[in-house]
C-alpha cells in the first residue's frame, strides 16, 4: 500500500450509505403498508361494517 493513498472509502460515502438505507426502508414501508392494511381490514367481520337498518316512521 502506498503511503500517499487515501482511505478505502471517501468521507462522503458514509452519508450516502445512510441515505441508501433510509431510502430502502421508506420504499419497503411504502410497498408493505397497503398490503398489510388490506389484509387487516379484509379479515374484519363484514357484519360490523354494515349500517343499521333504517326505519320509516309513519305519521
Read off the pLDDT of residues 13-46 as tens digits, 9 standing for 90 and up: 888 999 999 999 999 999 999 999 999 988 766 5
pLDDT value at 5 more than 70: no
Terminal C-alpha separation, the chain = 99
Supply the pLDDT for residue 15. Answer: 82
Supply the pLDDT for residue 56. Answer: 77
Which residue bears the cell 419497503? 28
User: pLDDT tier at 12 (50, 70, 90 boundaries)?
Assistant: confident
Indicate the DSSP class of residue 9. Answer: S
Region 42-53 average pLDDT: 66
Amino acid at each position: 500500500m502506498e503511503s500517499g493513498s487515501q482511505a478505502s472509502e471517501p468521507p462522503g460515502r458514509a452519508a450516502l450509505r445512510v441515505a441508501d438505507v433510509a431510502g430502502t426502508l421508506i420504499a419497503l414501508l411504502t410497498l408493505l403498508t397497503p398490503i398489510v392494511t388490506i389484509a387487516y381490514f379484509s379479515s374484519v367481520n363484514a357484519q360490523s361494517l354494515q349500517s343499521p337498518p333504517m326505519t320509516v316512521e309513519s305519521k
